[in-house]
Amino acid sequence: MSKEKFNLPPELVKILEYWRPIAVTLLLLSVLWSSIFQVSTEEVGVITRFGKYVRQVEPGLNIKIPFAEDVYKVPVERQQKQEFGFRTDRAGINTKYSKSSSSKDESLMLTGDLNLAEVQWVVQYRVDDAYKNLFKVRNPQSTLRIISEAAMRQIVGDRTVNEVLTVGRSEIATKLEELIQQICRDYSMGIKIEQVVLQDVNPPEPVKAAFNAVNEAQQEKETLINQAKSEYNKVIPKARGQAEETIQQAKGYAAERVNNADGEAARFTALYNEFIKAPGVTKKRIYLETMSNVIPKIGNVVITDEKGNNVLPLLQMQMNKKNTTQ
């Protein structure tokens, strides 16, 4: 009867005749649409019924009660990271980083000896408790940022600038990881810290030169010491060798001296043994033998008798003349 009242186009009238099956189909479709959902591999689905948490579902195709249940998907397997003191502009083979003034504020911090250091670091984390992450803390990501900054400053604040810049690096990363993890646990964030990586740790720009000067001075020190050591090593072993040489020479001298003495003594003794048998003749023989050896070598031999003493001055003159002309 209503059909006659409105002047509807005939096509619409025809559709309206089937309004029941159409409505049922639409209803079914919407029920299906709101009851089937997909959870991807890195996520879990947290399901609430009228706002109340009821269960957690694994990756894959899942079903929920339509309209009454809601699903929150939380990427629990995905490793996420936060950067402090720098930002990755474009990750890739040649990753580009940038530093703005606000990231400089993040990195500049006081050390325990009231110096300043610029520390850059990365916190890698994962949501390991989807329920806590969703329902225990508001804005867990920004909370984690703040925690990391506070924790890093606490740890750096307990160390000297020298430790922060050199020896303490790995220890700082370990301690920071522990501290952030502990605070996350206190806050029920449902976040697991996978790793804390310390990137560049530098003195602030205005004092870099001074820090380099320290390194240079250290090199200089090493050089000076090495030079002295090398000089030492050059001289001392040589001196040892020379000392050994001196001693050996002395020993040689000693051997020579004693052997010579032995030899000469033996020779003398042998001669002496013969000599005492006939002292007069032996002595005479030796004297004459020696003289007959010696006389031919002598330049001037003058034989005189006791009366010829007066020729001496004359001869003297002659010999002097001869010597000067030679």
- Residues 273-312, interacting with other proteins (CB under 8 A): 275-276, 279, 283-284, 286-288, 290-291, 293-294, 297-306, 312
Instruction: List the one residue from 18, 33, 67, 253 that touches other proteins (CB under 8 A).
Output: 253
Stretch 45-74 residues interacting with other proteins (CB under 8 A): 48-53
- The CB density around residue 203, as the number of other CB atoms within 10 Å, is 19
Min. distance of Cβ 299 from other proteins in angstroms?
A: 4
Alpha-carbon distance of 109 to 103, in angstroms, equals: 12
Q: Does 5 bind other proteins (CB under 8 A)?
A: no
**Running DSSP on this structure, what letter comes out for residue 85?**
S
The nearer residue to other proteins, 43 or 140, going by C-beta atoms, is 140
In whole angstroms, how close is the CB of 11 to other proteins at the nearest point? Answer: 28
Q: Tokens in use for 234?
A: 């050059």
CA dist list (Å): 120 to 109, 123, 156, 210: 10, 10, 12, 21
**SS3 at position 5:** helix
Give 44 or 183: the residue with its C-beta nearer to other proteins. 183
Interatomic CA distance for residues 117 and 203, integer angstroms: 5
Strands 80-84 and 87-90: unpaired
Chain positions 167 to 226 lying near other proteins, rule: CB under 8 A, are: 167-168, 171, 183, 186-188, 203-204, 206-207, 209-211, 213-214, 216-218, 220-225
User: Which part of the chain contacts other proteins (CB under 8 A), choosing from 4-12, 19-27, 92-100, 156-164?
Assistant: 156-164
Name the burial class of residue 127, with classes exposed (0-12), middle (13-18) and buried (19+) by CB atoms within 10 angstroms of its CB: buried
89 in Cβ contact with 96 (< 8 Å): yes
* Residue 12: CB minimum distance to other proteins, A: 24
Q: Minimum distance from CB of 10 to other proteins (Å)? A: 27
List the interface residues with other proteins, window 63-122 (CB under 8 A). Answer: 105, 108-116
Q: Which is nearer to other proteins, 91 or 276 (CB)?
A: 276
Structure tokens belonging to residue 179: 């501290």
Q: Which of 136, 182, 281, 321 binds other proteins (CB under 8 A)?
A: 136
Distance in angstroms (rounded) separating the CA atoms of residues 212 and 208: 6
